[in-house]
Copies of this chain bind each other. A is one copy, B any other.
Amino acid sequence: MASKSSGEAAGLQSFFADLVRCETRLYNALNDRLRERHGIVTSQFEALRYLRDHPGSRVADLATEFAIGIGATSKGIDRLEKHGWAVRRPNPADRRSSLLALTDDGSRLVDAAEATVTDALAELVGDTLDGSPGAATRQVISTLRSLLERNQIGTPTG
């Protein structure tokens, strides 16, 4: 049969529920702080950080990283450009696409926001991820992410 034992099945269901609830609440809480202190939300912070760490990326690269559609990514870049935090530069190798980069304002913003996120996460999760079970958890979640990416699981159509 396709499923594991029923005990495992129930475990995976509750793991998934817990995972989604952790993500939702942490995301919400980070949104609050980032909006208040920097006027951005978490998705924008993550895009800015990606552009800082991968200058010259294309729209499709961000879409792959975040597992969202190309259309949504393009619109997100529109907004970052409107705010003056990112720019599209012509791609000399392919005129269909642009190479993305942060502006100086964008660079300053992402560095400041990163400090906010670092402090917020430390405060929000407390010592839950300290110690040996915490280390195992980080490793397993990282491995799971790699597995999903390698298998293209949950990659959007558009």
In the complex, whether A79 has a CB less than 8 A from a CB of chain B is no
Write out the residue numbers on chain B whose beta carbons fall within 8 Å of the beta carbon of A117.
13, 16
Bound form: Cα–Cα A142–B22 in Å: 9
Could you tell me the distance between the alpha carbons of A114 and B12 in the complex, rounded to whole angstroms?
Answer: 12
Q: Collect the chain B residues with CB atoms within 8 Å of residue A16's CB.
A: 26, 30, 117, 121
Contact with B along A117-153 (1 / 0, CB 8 A): 1110111111011101110111111111101110001
Residues in chain B near residue A32, CB distance under 8 A: 154
With A118-B3, A124-B153, A141-B18 in contact, do A129 and B12 touch (Cβ < 8 Å)? yes
Q: Which of B26, B129, B144 contacts A153 (CB 8 A)?
A: B26
Interface residues of A in 2-38 (CB under 8 A from B): 2-4, 8-9, 11-30, 32
Chain A interface size, as a band, is 35 or more
CB <8 Å contact, A11 and B138: yes
CA distance A114 to B145 in the complex (A): 23
A80 close to chain B: CB less than 8 A: no
Which single member of B12, B141, B154 contacts A24 (CB below 8 Å)?
A: B154
